[in-house]
Amino acid sequence: MGYRRVNVELLWDIYKRSRAGVSNRQIARVHGLDKKTVNQYLARIEELKLPRDLDYTGLLGCLTQVVSANSKPRPSFEVFLPLADEIRDLVAGNHEKQQKPMKPKTAWDVVSHRHGLAGKTSYETFKRFYRSQILSGLAAHSVPRIETEPGEETQIDYGQVGHKLVDGRRRVINAYCGKLSCSRRLYIEYVTTQDEVSFSRSGADMFGFFGGATRYLNLDNLKAGVISPDIHDPTLNRTFAELCDHYGVLADPARVRSPKDKAKIERSVPLARELFKRLNALYPDASLEELNRHALIWCRDEYGARKHGTTGIPPNQVFEEVEKACLTSLPAEPFVPARWSIAKVHPDQFIQTGGKYYGLPARYIGKQVDVRITTSTASIYYQNELIRQYPVTTKRRNYLPEDFPAWAQPFVPGSYASFLAESAERFGPQTGALIRAIIASGGNLSLRRAQGCLSIIERHRDNPGLSHVLGMAIARRIYIPDRLRVMLEAETVQNILAFPVSETGRAMARSADYYTGP
CATH number, domain at 198? 3.30.420.10
Residue 305 in contact with residue 314, Cβ under 8 Å?
A: yes
Per-residue burial over 73-93, b if 16 or more Cβ lie within 10 Å, else e, is eeeebebbeebeeebbebbbe
Residue-wise over 189-225: b if at least 16 C-beta within 10 A, else e? Answer: bbbeebebbbbbbbbbbbbebbebbbbbbbbbbbebb
Residue 66: what pLDDT? 78
Regarding whether 452 and 474 lie in a shared domain, the answer is yes
201 lies in the same domain as 299: yes
Given this model, what pLDDT does residue 109 score?
Answer: 85
| Rounded CA separation 207/217 (Å) | 11
The range of the structural domain enclosing residue 461 comes to: 406-518
The answer to whether residues 396 and 411 belong to one domain is: no
The answer to whether residues 457 and 494 belong to one domain is: yes
Assess whether 274 and 320 both reside in one domain: yes
Q: Look at residue 144 and tell me if it is in a domain.
A: no
pLDDT at residue number 369: 96
C-alpha triplet 427, 428, 434: angle, nearest 5°: 90
Q: Compute how many other C-beta atoms are within 10 angstroms of the C-beta atom of residue 302.
A: 10
Question: Of the candidates 49, 8, 54, 10, which has an alpha carbon nearest to the alpha carbon of residue 33?
Answer: 10
Q: How far apart are CA 46 and CA 14, in angstroms?
A: 12
Helix (H) or strand (E) holding 124: helix 123-129
| Number of domains comprising the chain | 5
Assess whether 352 and 270 both reside in one domain: no
Q: Is 20 in the same domain as 132?
A: no
Q: Do 164 and 308 fall into the same domain?
A: yes
Domain-terminating residue out of 68, 88, 116: 68
Q: Any residues with CB less than 8 A from the CB of 50 and at least 6 apart, and which?
A: 15, 59, 62
List, for residues 44-65, the tens digit of each pLDDT value.
888 888 887 777 777 777 887 7
Q: Name which of 170, 164, 211 is nearest 187 in CA terms.
A: 211
Predicted local distance difference test score (pLDDT) of residue 1: 42
Whether the Cβ atoms of residue 224 and residue 240 lie closer than 8 Å to each other: yes
252, 241 in Cβ contact below 8 A?
no
Whole-angstrom Cα distance, residue 321 to residue 7? 46
Question: Nearest 10 degrees: CA dihedral of 417, 418, 424, 428?
Answer: 140
What residues contact residue 442 under an 8 Å CB cut-off, 6+ apart? Answer: 407, 449
The identity of residue 193, as a single letter, is T
Instruction: Identify whether residues 387 and 434 lie together within a single domain.
Output: no
pLDDT for the residue numbered 408? 43
Are residues 380 and 271 both part of a single domain? no
CA angle, corner 445, sides to 442 and 450, nearest 5?
80
Q: Which of 300, 326, 352 is the last residue of a domain?
A: 326
Residue 457 lies in a domain: yes
Residue 345 lies in a domain: yes
Where the chain has pLDDT below 70, the residues are: 1-5, 68-76, 135-144, 405-414, 444, 493-499, 511-513, 515-518
Nearest alpha-carbon partner for 330 in 467, 206, 441:
206
Which helix (H) or strand (E) is 457 found in, with range? helix 447-459
> Cβ distance 73 to 3 under 8 Å?
no
Q: Is residue 214 part of a domain?
A: yes
